Structure 1
Amino acid sequence: MRNERRAAVSGREIVVTATRTQQEIAQAPASMSVVTGPELRRRPVQDLAEALENEPGLTINGVGMTRRGISIRGMSNEHLLTLVDGRRITDSSANMAHVDFDLGWVPSIAIDRIEVVRGPLSALYGSEALAGVVNVITRRPETRLEASALALQGFRDGKGGDTSQLSAMVGGPIIEDTLGVVAWGEYRRRSRTTSEADPLQSELEAREALSGSVIAWWKPAPGHRIEIGQAVSDDDRARDTVTTGTVPVYYEYQDHVTRAQTHGSYTGTFDWGEVQARVYRSVLERDNERDRNQTPTQPTRAVDFVADARVTLNAFAGNKLTLGAEHRNEFLRDSTINTAGEDSVNHDALFVQDEWSFGGLGSLTVGSRFDHHPAYGWQTSPRAYLTLTPVEGLVLRGGAGKAFKAPSLKQLSLGYITVAAGGRFIITGNPDLKPETNTAYELGAAYYGKGWHLGATLFQNDLKGLVQTICVESCSIRGQERRAYVNVDKARIRGVELSGEWMPLESLSLSASYTYVDPQDISNDQSLAERPNHSAKWKVAWDFLPGSTVNLRGRYIGRQTIYSGTTAIRLDGYDLWSADVSHDLTERVTLKAGVDNVFRKRLAETSALYTYAEPGRVFFVGLGANF
């Protein structure tokens, strides 16, 4: 862990997401942060929202039905692109409401690191990357056979909400420097919690998931690598809830979600550059059940097939030119989308990126992606980013770029119709929708001293054509009101990020960050909802004895605006603290223990308007083993 901390403090962590090529994070043409796998394995982490809750510029918001999403710099969770080893996964939120299924693909035992890019990256990754990118990099033990196991049990201070995790990973070379394999599996669960305001309803849903993956690689010759893999997951959710009609009916709501991804890739390294070709297919199926004669949501099957390739040319000293292409087929089977009950669309793209290095003085990265969508033709996503190092340790950075998000298949379908909000209204599609766009600007500076660093970044996002539903017929008449998707809103989100880290001793690390966000809905001259103006994160890590480490983490989420009808309400800010300790019982076995939400902060007890519930105080204990 000390080596990881030193790399983080000095800015020497190696990242790939900002350009698809390796570079130190201090020189990367983007605002980035990294969460390491060993750090995650110190505590019970159920999904990406919990893994990233202490990262700069990120806040966790509610997406409905007790579920949570990730917001970057005040942007919607729907504007975040999630990747696993650089591969996009099925975007469940595009065609299903109130879902967080994209956040639980990889367990902590299989994670090498998570790279977070704060800022649009459609120039590289296409649609959905308006706010940024989260890339989960999985472990690849290649030099020797490795085996790991992790067991964690959490006990909530209250009724329900206990958690369990049991996972294992094994991998390594079968034939040295030629053939290898890695496999992992995990079982995790969380029991539902009961609402104190209404004991017949769940404050947090129950979860039970089983997942696994197998990846094999072959190096037929030096510099050449072929990789194939298969990942699967079965995820069950359940909660107690109530209808919104005049005669309330209490019932149980269940989601059964299965996911799979099959992937293969080839990477070749030559004197003149690198070639990569990939193909992968992601499938997500959701079945819904409800008792007490309540009508369930119709089954959904979403399939993404992607084939892409890129060539990186070392044209001359200090220059890397990357050319690439991508074909993506998006398929959806859902009885509500049209009379046929299914639809599909092809996304095709070309992209180019040129990286100029000025030696120790900095670098310039320019590029653009050209995406074609049958509904609205070609979209261009340009980007330029400059980093300068005028003196040793000082890094100046700035850039601008444009990103877009294509409307979903349901939003674009003329035949789409669904009942929403417990029967209060229906929603229909609109084939005339235009894509949402974001033009972003960023300017920052960081200084890396001996054992410390400080950084500051100014940012602004100008969003246009945000897709919303508005009433178009029989407004305010329950059961007859009809709403349609339209491009109505313009928004401007600007702010500043401050961050720093200090290692006064080899055994002690202190880090902190602060983010101010000014989220304005320009169309309606009001603040955007659920975007806290202020947030702060801090962490202390101390190796108080050889083989023993304690971590203290805290985060403050400031005041935010919530709308009840047309009335703006300001919710108070709150702070959350957690602590964990680990001790090496032997060279290979580690005992872990800790507590999340030390002071038992309960948002539901403060106001029912918070869009998700904190589970309260949770104690946990566990064992980790590495061989």
Structure 2
Amino acid sequence: MNSRYLASCAIGAVLALAPAVDAHAEEAPDDIVVTATRTAAPLYQVGQSVSVVTREEIENTQATTATDVLSRLPGLQVTASGGFGQPSSVFVRGADNAQSLVLIDGVRINDPGDVGGGFDFGALTVAQFDRIEVVRGSSSVLWGSRAIGGVINLITQRPTEEWHARAQAEYGWRDRKQASASASGLLGPVGLTVGGNWMKGDGYSAYNERRGATEKDGFESKSANARAELELLDGLTIDAGTYWTKANYDYDNTGADALNVGMKRDLTGYGNVRYAGLDDRLHARVGYGVVDTRRISDDAAWGPYETNGKNERFEGQVDFTPVELVTVLVGAETEKQDFTDNYGSKDDMRIDSVFGNLTVRPFDGLTLNGGLRYDDNSSFGDRTTFAANGAWAPLGLTGPVIRASYAEGFKAPSLYQLYTNAGYRDLEAETSKGWDAGVEQPFADGKGALTVTWFDRKTRNLIDYDLVNWNYYNIGKARAKGLELGMQVHDWQGLDVALSYTYLDATNALTGAQLPRRTKNNMLVSIDKRWDVNGVGGLRLGGELRVGGGRWDDAANSLRVEGNTVVNLRGSYAVTRNVEVYARLDNVFDEHYEVVRLYGTPGRSAYAGVRVKM
């Protein structure tokens, strides 16, 4: 579909709903976010473009994987080379998957053993996460290397004073089974959260079954998490947590069935000491985080290739508000990355960093932020980055919020690129400069918001692979610019509505070619309606339309993948206040399409399950 048609669909959806809502909100929600500023801040004071997904939204849309959730958001595109467990990338505003930083509870989980140092989303389930925050735009000043496209923070449930528990079981297409459970509460003075998830299925062929593939690529995934908090003294607390996941899966060769098997195991751990004092005007934190990743790709013909990546980080930060108008944030970090494989590659990299950010609120409704960061990398030298942003709510919480930001980003070469690179190790860091500007308008009595944002980012020294000389090298420039349109309505007269449209022009600035696997147009429209029955929630019915434009599968723009239109339906019924049954039908019209050339996508598929909460 062309860009004019998709743009008219998106704008038409907004106009069609506009008469049904009150444009004069009485009270806007005061959402608090932490990822954009590294401190708790009201969303209306954040100058960057941020999306927040709650546990309620995850359950209402019946999402099972992180990519299910992220593909619904403006500015994000997901590509997968097959089903669960297969390589999956998330492009934030057209940035490469390895150019965005991924966190679990604030701990970096990008894999040092990955080719680009990115995170593979293919085996990440979402049952254990209570909240997901996505910051679009370069965030290297606060978060360091890799945060060129943005930051994705997956947050597990915090302990609660009273014990709460939830459990879920689901069954569906091709014998896919899933079960999850979690509990949270106080055990003496210690707040605890524990949870786990299991999923197993026959799957479908990674190589497209519509092209003649017959061998299914099954999978099994297990994960567990734990989190604890303890208040030692008034204002002084400690917390620690862990997240473990292991996935086994089958995979194919490019363009053919194959009896290949893979395994990916991630272990994340962290601990923090926190202090809050001076009437909550001073906050300090000292923390440690580690992620250990092991991957095995066992090719049926060539044998196994194993990589091991480890990232350890010590960090500290202090934010102080001497007067209501000013907040100062300063911090320091030291990070060590290790990489080994079973072919003899073994090395490490260290990054030492300091950063600072100044927040000024000169008058009610206006918030300005500016920051600097200095990084010293043991392998490629030092780097200084700058960022500034602002948010202005001229009419208070009931009116529009105007946002604008400028930010510089960088990404150091990965250990894989540096130390598996035959004959050429003098790689430079990828760097970027970008800006965006947008407006958010609340409506529907404060239960809805419409956002429009324009963004533009230029990136230099992209790292690519030379198939002739068999090494990595820096080449060229890229530019990504476009428009994001988003709308959310939550529980307004029983209605939930979501609209997400992205126009993206991501090109090689030297050749003019489109960057591979990025669509120019991407849209989602989702509507759910709830009817109360005996005050327990009752019946909920909904559906969504997903439209993805065509894309090029290669850098030379010679291999075309056509666009797709997919319709999904879902429904749920609250049997009691604590028990809910649900079902969904994905790809209702059995659309045949590819996102990555030669690789399959699921056909029409049905699932049903039950949720229990206590």
If the length of structure 2 is used for normalisation, what is the TM-score?
Answer: 0.88
Shift of 1:7: 11
User: 2:463 matched to which residue of 1?
Assistant: 467
Instruction: State the secondary structure of the residue aligned to 2:147.
Output: coil
Distance 1:325 1:82 in 2: 19
Match runs of 1:128-143 below 5 Å: 128-143=146-161
Residue 8 and residue 389 in structure 1: after superposition, are their counterparts in 2 closer, same or farther (change >3 A)? closer
1:583 — aligned with what? Answer: 573
- Give the conservation status (yes or no) of the 8 Å contact 1:289–1:297: yes
Task: Report the equivalent of 1:207.
Answer: 219
Q: Is 1:456–2:413 an aligned residue pair?
A: no
Note if contact 1:593-1:622 (Cα within 8 Å) is conserved in structure 2: yes
Does 2:388 correspond to 1:388? no
Task: For 1:8 and 1:37, locate their aligned partners in 2 and report how far apart those are by CA, in whole Å.
Answer: 25
Shift of the 611–304 alpha-carbon distance from structure 1 to 2, 3 Å rule, reads farther
Which residue does 2:287 correspond to in 1? 278
* Higher RCO (C-alpha 8 Å, min separation 6): 2
**Aligned residue runs from structure 1 range 89-488, under 5 A:** 89-91=109-111, 94-95=114-115, 101-102=120-121, 104=123, 107-155=125-173, 160=174, 162-175=175-188, 178-194=189-205, 195-197=208-210, 199-200=212-213, 202=215, 205-241=217-253, 251-271=258-278, 272-291=281-300, 294-336=301-343, 341-392=345-396, 393-413=399-419, 416=420, 428=422, 430-449=424-443, 450-451=445-446, 452-471=448-467, 475=468, 482-488=469-475
CA distance in 2, matches of 1:209, 1:278: 29
Deviation at 1:560, TM superposition (A): 2.0
SS at 2:364's partner residue?
helix
Match of 2:558 among 568, 573, 592: 568
Structure 2 residue aligned with 1:421: none
Match of 2:526 in 1: 539
Could you tell me which of 552, 571, 585 is aligned with 1:595?
A: 585
Between the two proteins, what is the percent identity of the paired residues?
Answer: 25
Amino acid at match of 1:23: A
Is the Cα–Cα contact under 8 Å of residues 67 and 100 in structure 1 kept in the other structure? no
Residue 588 of structure 1 deviates from its aligned partner by 0.9
Unaligned runs of 5+ in 1: 1-5, 418-427, 476-481
SS state of the match for residue 470, structure 2? strand
For the residues of structure 2 that align with 1:491 and 1:103, how far apart are their CA atoms?
26
When structure 1 is superposed on structure 2, of 366-375 and 502-511 the one drifting more is 502-511
Would you say the 8 A contact 2:514–2:557 is kept in 1?
A: no
Deviation per CA, 1:185-235: give whole Å up to 9, x if none.
Answer: 111123231443455555x74221111122221111232221122332221
Change (3 A) 1:209 1:8: farther
User: Could you list the per-position Cα deviations for residues 298-333 of structure 1 after superposition, in whole angstroms to 9, with x for gaps in the alignment?
Assistant: 221111111111011112222111110111110111
How many Å apart are 1:615 and its aligned residue?
0.7
CA shift at 1:376, angstroms? Answer: 2.1
Change (3 A) 1:109 1:567: closer
DSSP-derived class of the 2:389 partner: strand
1:536/1:10 Cα in 2 relative to 1: closer, same or farther (>3 Å)? farther
Aligned mates of 1:16, 1:9 — CA distance in 2: 22
- Decide whether the 8 Å contact of 2:236 with 2:274 is kept in 1: yes
- 2: distance between equivalents of 1:410 and 1:196? 33
> Secondary structure, in 3 states, of the residue corresponding to 1:231?
strand
Name the amino acid aligned to 1:379: R
Following TM superposition, by how much is the alpha carbon of 1:566 offset from its aligned partner in structure 2, in angstroms? Answer: 4.1
> Which of 497, 501, 509 is the equivalent residue of 1:522?
509
- Once residues 203 and 491 of structure 2 are traced to their aligned partners in structure 1, the CA distance between those partners, rounded to angstroms, is 43
| Residue type at the aligned position of 2:272 | S
Change (3 A) 1:539 1:25: farther
SS in 1 for 2:553: strand
Counterpart of 2:510 in structure 1: which amino acid?
S
State the Cα distance separating 1:461 from its structure 2 match: 0.6
1:72 aligns with 2:92: yes
Preserved contact between residue 67 and residue 121 of structure 2 (Cα < 8 Å): no
| Letter paired with 1:279 | Y
In structure 2, distance between residues paired with 1:597 and 1:488: 40
Residue aligning to 2:14: none
Question: Deviation at 1:63?
Answer: 5.7
- Deviations along 1:457-504, whole A, 9 cap, x unmatched? 111010100000124xxx4xxxxxx32111112011111112234579
Distance (Å, rounded) in 2 between the aligned partners of 1:360 and 1:611: 55
- Secondary structure of 2:234's match? coil
Inter-partner Cα distance in structure 2 for 1:567 and 1:363? 43
> Given residue 323 of structure 1, which amino acid in structure 2 is its aligned partner?
V
Matched, 1:550 2:541: yes
Q: Distance in 2 between matches of 1:502 and 1:383?
A: 31
C-alpha separation between the residues in 1 aligned to 2:600 and 2:285? Answer: 44
C-alpha deviation, 1:101, in angstroms? 4.0
Residues 92 and 101, structure 1, Cα contact 8 Å, conserved in 2: no
After superposing the two structures, state which structure 1 stretch, 404-413 or 543-552, moved more. Answer: 543-552
Instruction: Answer yes or no: is the 8 Å Cα contact 1:301–1:332 preserved in 2.
Output: yes
Report deviation, 1:429.
6.0
Partner SS for 1:366:
strand
Q: Tell me which amino acid in the other structure corresponds to 1:191.
A: D
- CA 1:188–1:622 in 2, change beyond 3 Å: closer, same or farther? same
Distance 1:357 1:172 in 2: 37
- The 1:239–1:94 alpha-carbon spacing in structure 2 relative to 1, beyond 3 Å, is closer
Kept after mapping to 2: 8 A contact 1:90/1:283: no
What is aligned with 1:424?
none
Deviations 1:402-433 (A, max 9, x none): 000110112122xx26xxxxxxxxxx363210
Give secondary structure in 2 for the equivalent of 1:193.
coil
Q: CA deviation at 1:595?
A: 1.4
Is 2:503 aligned against 1:494?
Answer: no
Match of 1:559 among 550, 562, 566: 550
Which residue does the alignment assign to 1:420? Answer: none
Contact map agreement 2:80 2:596 (CA 8 A) in 1: no
Deviation sequence 1:56-89 (CA, Å, 0-9, x none): 1111124689532111112211212110111111
Over 3 Å counting, the alpha-carbon distance change for 1:43 and 1:398 in structure 2 is closer
Q: How many angstroms apart in 1 are the aligned matches of 2:557 and 2:312?
A: 44
Q: From the superposition, tell whether residues 391 and 225 of structure 1 become closer, same or farther in structure 2 (CA, over 3 Å).
A: same
SS of residue matched to 1:530: coil
User: Which residue of the partner structure matches residue 55 of structure 1?
Assistant: 73
Structure-1 separation of matches of 2:526 and 2:212:
36
Q: Secondary structure at the match of 1:603?
A: coil
Task: Note if contact 1:90-1:303 (Cα within 8 Å) is conserved in structure 2.
Answer: no
- Residue 46 of structure 1: how far off its partner (Å): 4.2
| 2: CA distance, partners of 1:52 / 1:573 | 19
Match of residue 423 from structure 1? none
Q: Determine if contact 1:240/1:253 at 8 Å carries over to the other structure.
A: yes
Kept after mapping to 1: 8 A contact 2:88/2:121 = no
- Measured at CA, do residues 152 and 334 of structure 1 come closer, stay the same or move farther in structure 2, by a change above 3 Å? same
Deviation at 1:126, TM superposition (A): 0.7
Amino acid across the alignment from 2:322: A
Q: Secondary structure at the match of 2:519?
A: coil
CA contact (8 A) 2:72 2:500 kept: no
Q: Secondary structure at the match of 2:558?
A: strand
How far has the Cα of 1:550 moved from its partner? 2.2
CA drift of 1:590 comes to 0.9
